[in-house]
Structure 1
């Protein structure tokens, strides 16, 4: 939900509640005031009736209002509020007089002043209500903004955690429900961070513990007589050694203490050396003058990035593999099935699931190459863009920072 939309909804609810309260209070005041005026008018009409009785002033019953006549009872005073034929409001009081039932004593009090006063009161209450709402609206906006601002901070922290920053925390001040949500978010981040650190320690411990027996196996394999079985053993030991080296490299990158050794690097020459070292058939295309491809970066880490991407293209993609080198940029592409959608989204967020290679048609492997690529890219400040071109294959663009 849009934070501005949430703020307006809260403000609208507060304003609506204030409007309802003002309307109910205004209605109660209106009713109470009018009832008081009626009571006063009735008392005045009865007083005037007593005075008319004392003077013996009588009128014909048929001259009284039609609504008042049916209420007349011998020896009993009755009152009635109504409007005459000219639209004037009156309070009537009457009592039968004589035994024939055709005479009565009556009195009437004008209620015009009271009614006009009531109308004036209603207008004043409406004006006061509008002024109050004009003040309530900005106050409700402010009241809605305070919790909304805290929610936005939590949303920002949640996005940072989702992007891999497990050290991100949010302010959990207060004792309300928002504070409870913030405390839960911080607790979740701390738990995830502890699990990640445990995984990193496990990776480092396994790599170090495997190194000694692995060196023993490597030495023992050199003593075996040459043959097909020996070659197979040596090849498997080489794969295991590569895995251990990758785990050790990842553990160093996880420690976040690595610093780049920057120097001017001719990108075209570096790519040629990588192609020769990994022995991956690829078409090299240097865009522009070769001298314009020099960039200031860490050559060892950049060469590791390029080598791993080439090996990944050979293992999981399909020929032809192409490399385009231009100023501060290297683009490596294969023509296989492309990156799986889930893996592609993670890679572009700077994340890679370890020991995971994606779809089975992307080939086999231990799934650490891209993790190492992302780690070295973070150290040297390179930007990696992964995508699947419309005409097929997988493409990785390595963009180096400016000098």
Structure 2
């Protein structure tokens, strides 16, 4: 059942139930046990007195007139209890006739159930009875010498009055405690409800894509921790949203540039006055733009698969020297056409546990990056080696190096260092890093003037197979 007023009412009612339940439990534990203890104490006292009186009865001579009446009256004053000696008629049904009764003005006790029980069982009997609406504690003792029954009866109104006082005070305390609990619970619940509503509004803002307002809660409890988690989520979502917008803008720009170029060249090629040499140049440029679009679309497809978690990599033994040689052979024409010197250095024990196709893709990206961002005449060295229990594929060039302010961002998507050699979409290194991480490796860079090294570090194969010879 949903309570009106939301969490404020729920918390207040819950606190009232807890306090009320605790006090009710205390009432049930204290009041009955106190009443039972007081009545039992009075019965224990009457039992001691009754046994003492029965012993005195057995030693007395009651042949004189009024001797028994005087005996009963005397001990009634001593014990502060009504004292009755019954003659028993039986055997069944048992009947009692008072022989002496200190309660001359009291009500008849000829049918007292405690005394009748002792007459039937000839055993000491004790209990609590109601007579004329008043409570009494009674003890009945069999008088063995005569077969009679001795009864001591004392009112317990004072004891029960004490219990009633305790009961009233507990009820007053319960009322006060419930009132305080209602006030404190309502106040505390209102404060928590206000904090929860702030978190609700913050969550709604985040759900609407508004990340400008921070989620603030200065409490150090669970709500404060939840607010801190909301704030971390807001910051991350804001970063992701910014990255998404930048990604869309950059991708649109990268796609638009070659498309506009293609459109312009196609329009120029439709001119019938173009000579064959110019037309051939336009065709070559158009082919380059198509290749650029193809590479860009492939990179975007890889990124989308990586982000969607649908990019699968294998885990197999990869001979890094063979991969390095394949990369050098594939990109040698590109290096030659751009005036770069591409060379290879390998070690035979450089075996990695990775996906060979993805290692090739990373190697191509690193070599192509070195060729694209260094001037003509730069030497690019591809090296496959084993270092500190890792299989390493590195690409080193003796170009001008990377400015320090750009080193931390060169692996970001669409990020490019502006300069005379800047080119490409800015996705190659970003994809290389993603692929390396999914193979359990990493991509790093170390740069200084005249020497820049990009390194792909991968898990090494535990034992390199023998009889494998790789020449460098």
| TM-score, normalised by the number of residues in structure 2 | 0.43
More helix by share: 1
**Higher CA-based Rg:** 2
TM-score, normalising length from structure 1? 0.49
